[in-house]
Structure 1
Amino acid sequence: MKSVHLDTWLITVPPLVVYLLVAVVVGIESIGVPLPGEIVLVGAALLATRPGLGIDPVVVAASATAGAIVGDSIGYTLGRRYGLGLLGWLGRRFPRHMGPGHVDMARRVFERHGVWAVLFGRFVAILRILAGPLAGTMRMRYPVFLAANATGAVLWAGGTVAAVQLLGLVAETWLHRFSWVALVIAILVGLVVSRQVRARLEPDTAQE
C-alpha cells in the first residue's frame, strides 16, 4: 500500500520542480556549501527511469551541468575576492566536511594538478565543493577555469545520469525478481563501500 501511495505522489511532482531542485542543490554545493548534490542528481536520474513521470534524463543532466557551472563561477568569484579568509570561514562553518585538513588536502591537489584538479575534481566530493573557491583564491585564469569547469560538469552530470539510467533499468528488473531482499543487499553494499572510501580518506586528513 505504501508503494502505491509513493508512486501516486511521484506522479504528481512536476518535472520542472525536479530540474530546478537539481540545478539549485548542485549550484549551491559548487559555491562551497556541502550539500548532497550528487545524491540529488542520482535521485533525479532514477526518477527519470520511471515511466509515466515525464522526467527527461537529458534535461536532468543539463540542469546539473548548468548548476555546476554557475555555482562554481560564483564560488570562483568569491574566492578571488575574499581569498583564504573565505576558506577559513567555510572551514569554521562546516568543520565536519571542510575542516583545515580537508582544505589543505584540496589545496595540495590544486597546486600539483592545476586545471586537471578542476576538471576531474567534479568526481570527488571535497574537490567538487571547493573547486570554485580554491581556483579563485589561487588566481587561476577564469577562461581556463571555466573551460575545465564546464568540461568536468558535462562529463560528471552526463556520465552519472547515463550510468544511473543503465543501472537503474537493470536494478528495476532485479528488484522485481528478488523484492525487498535485493534492496537490503544493495543498501548494505552501498554502506560498506562508503565506509571503505571514508576510511581511506580519514588517515590523510588526520595527518594534517
Structure 2
Amino acid sequence: MENWLINIINEYGYLGILLLIAVENVFPPVPSEVILTFGGFITHSSRLTITGVVIASTAGSVIGAVFLYGIGLQIDVSRLESIVDKWGSFLRLTKKDIYRADAWFDKYGPWTVFFCRFVPLIRSLISIPAGMSNMNLQLFLALTTFGTLIWNVVLVNLGASVGSSWEDIVHYMDLYSRVIYVLLGILLILLFVLIAKRRRGK
C-alpha cells in the first residue's frame, strides 16, 4: 500500500495529498504517517513546499472530518434509542447510558475533539460523536483545523528534516500507534469493569 500512496503523491502532488488525507480520515487504516512524512521528504526533490503540503493535508483532514461529522448528525440520540431497544440487552447498554454519554460529550466534547487529533485511529472517528451530539459546526471546524494543523506540521517537517530516512519516522509512529492502542484497550477494559461494578451495586 505504501508504494501506491507514494506513486499518487509523486504524480498528483498537492491534490494527491489532499485526497489521500481526506480518504485517510474516512478509512483510518490508510496511514497518514506515510502520506505526511513522504510529503515532507519529497519537498527536497520537487516543486512541492512544506507549507503547501501542510495546507493540502490539513484541507484534506478537514474535508474528511466534516464528512464523518455529517454521518454523526444522521445518528442522533433517537436513533440510538431504537438501537438500544432492539440490541441493548446484548450490548449491555441502556438509554440512560446514551444520555450520560451525550451529556459528557456536550460538556467535554470540544477538548476531546482537539486532543483526539493526536491519537491514531481515534483522531478520525471522533468526528462521528461530535456530529451525534450536534456540536457547533464552527467550533468543530476550528478545533479540528487547529489540532490537525499541529499534527501535520510536526510530521511534514519531520519528513523534510530526515530526508531519505523518512521511513524511520513511519516506523516510530507505528510504535507510537501500537502503544496508544494498548492503552486504549486497557482503558476500555477498566471502563467495562467500572460499569459492571456499578450495575451490581444497584
TM superposition score normalised by structure 1: 0.62
Higher relative contact order (CA 8 A, sep 6+): 2
Amino acid in structure 2 at the alignment position of 1:200: L
Deviating more after overlay: 123-132 vs 77-86: 77-86
Greater than 4 Å deviation, 4+ residue runs: 12-16, 106-112, 185-195
Alignment gaps of 5+ in structure 2: 81-97, 193-202
Query: How far, CA to CA, are the matches of 1:143 and 1:186 in structure 2?
Result: 33
User: Structure 2: how far apart are the matches of 1:191 and 1:197?
Assistant: 10
Runs of 5+ in structure 1 lacking a partner? 1-5, 87-103, 176-182
Q: Distance in 1 between matches of 2:126 and 2:12?
A: 27
Change (3 A) 1:133 1:14: closer
- Distance in 2, matches of 1:15 and 1:196, equals 31
C-alpha distance in 1 between matches for 2:131 and 2:145? 16
CA distance in 2, matches of 1:132, 1:155: 17
Are residues 118 and 14 of structure 1, via their aligned partners in 2, closer, same or farther at CA, if it must alter by over 3 Å?
closer
The 5-angstrom pairing of residues 60-79 of structure 1 reads 60-79=53-72
The AA in structure 2 aligned to 1:64 is S
**43 and 110 in structure 1: CA distance in 2 versus 1, 3 angstrom threshold:** farther
CA RMSD of aligned residues (A): 3.9
TM-score (norm 2): 0.64
CA distance in 1, matches of 2:125, 2:8: 32
1:202 to 185, 188, 196: 185
Tell me whether 1:41 sits opposite 2:53 in the alignment: no
Change over 3 Å in CA distance of 1:75–1:58 after alignment to 2: same
Alignment partner for residue 141 of structure 2, among 129, 134, 146? 146
| Distance in 2 between residues matched to 1:187 and 1:158, nearest whole Å | 15
| Counterpart among 125, 133, 136 of residue 131 in structure 2 | 136
Change in 2 beyond 3 A, CA 1:67/1:109: farther
